[in-house]
Amino acid sequence: MLGTLPLMAIVIIIYNVIIFLTGLSMESQVTSITLISGAIWTISVGDVIVFTGLILLFLELINSTKTGASTIVNHALSMLVLLIALVEFIVLPQFGTSTFFALVLLALFDVIAGFTVTITAARRDFTVGE
Q: How many CB atoms lie within 10 A of CB 48?
A: 16
Q: What is the value of pTM for the model shown?
A: 0.84
User: Is residue 55 predicted with pLDDT exceeding 90?
Assistant: yes
- Calculate mean pLDDT across residues 49-66: 89
92 pLDDT band, cuts 50/70/90, is very high
73: which residues sit within 8 A by CB, 6+ positions away? Answer: 4
For residues 101 and 71, the model is more confident at 101
* d(C-alpha 85, C-alpha 81), whole Å: 6
User: Is residue 89 predicted with pLDDT exceeding 90?
Assistant: yes
Question: Which range has the worst mean pLDDT, 34-48, 68-82, 88-102?
Answer: 68-82
H/E stretch holding 33 reads strand 29-34
Q: How many residues does the chain have?
A: 130
Closest by Cα among 53, 51, 47 to 98: 47
